[in-house]
């Protein structure tokens, strides 16, 4: 064989070797990518499985809250927002029940209560004058504008794509649409409001701190002392404790309840459910013991 042929064969072998090495490298890259994909899919599958378990556990937490409300023999929980912790098949449940009678009803509350909760949110006097009247103009059925309020023309002149509702609030979220309402004010007071209690006052036995501070003349030290006294009773039948503003208080209870549940799976995966449920006053055969008024998942919970 000539030297030329020998060199040609060597070059061909070298090229073949390089190509083989490149193929091996490419196969290694493909294999590595495939392994990473498998690992990612496995991790995602594990996460979604844990999330599904936690989600169903959270749903069960709502059912458990209902049982605690309607069956005294199962240990009734106090519906004032305090947190109860329960182990459910290895999943930790944190559950809080809030009687809606302990909140301020947007459709029934007096101007004093509305002004009080806006003050708690940090609204200025001028802002409160406008918002209190605008809320009342929104929920009444007439078209007469209050001194500082807003009707259709006011909304349209300020560039809103809608006018005053002139009817009852259908949800607390609707308050964000009110003339001159600022997002930061709404977010601060949202948890203290309801459209489900149906009463003009609030029940202090189940009211939260913000609601109690909204009562005229209340000071933070007075409210804190009251809450400590209430907590020390540790009973489902909390005594009605006077706060000196009885005209804005009520003893009404047991209509609708907020139920907030956080389920924490052993691996740390969390699922949240926030619902408002209404108990059936008369339980009849074949009918559910409660109805669901609102249901939100991944919601901000009252105890966060």
- The better pLDDT of the pair 8, 20 is held by 20
- Same-domain pairing of 276 and 193: yes
Last residue of a domain, one of 152, 181, 210: 181
Max CA-CA distance within the chain?
Answer: 116
Number of folded domains in the chain?
Answer: 2
> In this predicted structure, what is the pLDDT of residue 22?
74
Decide if 88 is inside a domain.
yes
Last residue of a domain, one of 133, 156, 181: 181
Q: Is the pLDDT of residue 234 over 70?
A: no
- Same-domain pairing of 170 and 193: no
> In this predicted structure, what is the pLDDT of residue 99?
94
SS3 of 258, please? Answer: strand
Half-sphere exposure of 291 (CA within 13 A, CB side): 8
> In this predicted structure, what is the pLDDT of residue 163?
96
Last residue of a domain, one of 163, 181, 199: 181
Answer yes or no: are the C-beta atoms of 169 and 138 closer than 8 Å: yes
| Residues 110-150 pLDDT 10s | 999 999 999 999 999 999 999 999 999 999 999 999 999 99
- Same-domain pairing of 198 and 290: yes
Q: What CATH number is attached to the domain comprising 168?
A: 1.10.40.60
- Same-domain pairing of 167 and 142: yes
What's the rounded mean pLDDT across residues 212-220? 91
Q: Cα–Cα distance between 69 and 77 in angstroms, integer?
A: 7
Q: Is the pLDDT of residue 212 over 70?
A: yes
> In this predicted structure, what is the pLDDT of residue 205?
87
SS3 of 82, please? Answer: strand
Decide if 43 is inside a domain.
no
Decide if 251 is inside a domain.
yes
Q: Is the pLDDT of residue 4 over 60?
A: no
What's the rounded mean pLDDT across residues 223-234? 82
- Same-domain pairing of 209 and 66: yes
Decide if 46 is inside a domain.
no
Handedness of CA 245, 168, 170, 182 (dihedral sign): negative
- Same-domain pairing of 128 and 106: no
| Residues 39-98 pLDDT 10s | 665 556 778 889 999 999 999 999 999 988 887 665 678 899 999 999 999 999 999 999
- Same-domain pairing of 294 and 200: yes
- Same-domain pairing of 62 and 169: no
Decide if 36 is inside a domain.
no
> In this predicted structure, what is the pLDDT of residue 30?
74
| Residues 242-289 pLDDT 10s | 666 666 777 777 689 999 999 999 999 999 999 999 987 666 665 667
- Same-domain pairing of 82 and 108: yes
Domain, as residue range, for 166: 124-181
Q: Cα–Cα distance between 144 and 164 in angstroms, integer?
A: 11
Handedness of CA 82, 254, 251, 211 (dihedral sign): positive
> In this predicted structure, what is the pLDDT of residue 18?
65
Decide if 16 is inside a domain.
no
Decide if 63 is inside a domain.
yes
| Residues 154-211 pLDDT 10s | 999 999 999 999 999 999 999 999 999 999 999 999 999 999 999 999 998 899 999 9
- Same-domain pairing of 198 and 97: yes
Tokens representing 54 are 């936690």
Decide if 29 is inside a domain.
no
- Same-domain pairing of 195 and 256: yes
Q: Cα–Cα distance between 287 and 304 in angstroms, integer?
A: 34
Q: Is the pLDDT of residue 100 over 90?
A: yes
> In this predicted structure, what is the pLDDT of residue 160?
97
What's the rounded mean pLDDT across residues 14-20? 66
- Same-domain pairing of 152 and 273: no
What percentage of the chain reaches a pLDDT higher than 90? 60
């Amino acid at each position: 064989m000539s030297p030329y042929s020998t060199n040609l064969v060597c070059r061909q072998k070298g090229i073949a070797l390089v190509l083989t090495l490149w193929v091996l490298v490419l196969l290694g890259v493909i294999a590595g990518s495939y392994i990473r994909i498998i690992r990612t899919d496995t991790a995602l599958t594990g996460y979604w499985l844990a999330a599904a378990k936690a989600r169903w556990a959270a749903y069960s937490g709502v059912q458990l809250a209902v049982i605690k409300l309607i069956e005294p023999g199962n240990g009734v929980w106090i519906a004032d927002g305090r947190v109860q912790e329960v182990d459910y098949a290895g999943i930790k449940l944190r559950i809080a029940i809030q009687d809606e009678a302990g909140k301020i009803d947007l459709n029934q509350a007096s101007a004093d209560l509305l002004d009080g909760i806006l003050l708690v949110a940090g609204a200025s006097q001028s802002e409160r004058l406008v918002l209190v009247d605008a809320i009342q103009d929104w929920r009444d059925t007439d078209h007469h504008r209050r001194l500082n309020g807003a009707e259709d023309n006011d909304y349209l002149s300020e560039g809103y794509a809608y006018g005053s509702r002139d009817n009852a609030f259908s949800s607390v979220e609707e308050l964000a649409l009110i003339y001159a309402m600022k997002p930061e004010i709404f977010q601060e007071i949202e948890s203290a409001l309801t459209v489900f209690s149906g009463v003009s006052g609030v029940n202090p036995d189940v009211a939260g701190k913000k609601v109690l501070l909204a009562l005229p003349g209340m000071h933070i030290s007075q409210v804190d002392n009251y809450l400590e006294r209430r907590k020390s009773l540790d009973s489902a039948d909390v005594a009605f404790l006077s706060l000196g503003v009885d005209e804005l208080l009520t003893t009404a209870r047991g209509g609708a309840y907020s139920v907030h549940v956080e389920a924490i799976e052993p691996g740390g995966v969390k699922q949240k459910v926030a619902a408002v449920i209404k108990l059936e006053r008369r339980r009849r055969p074949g009918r559910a013991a409660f109805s669901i008024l609102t249901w939100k998942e991944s919601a901000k919970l009252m105890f966060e």
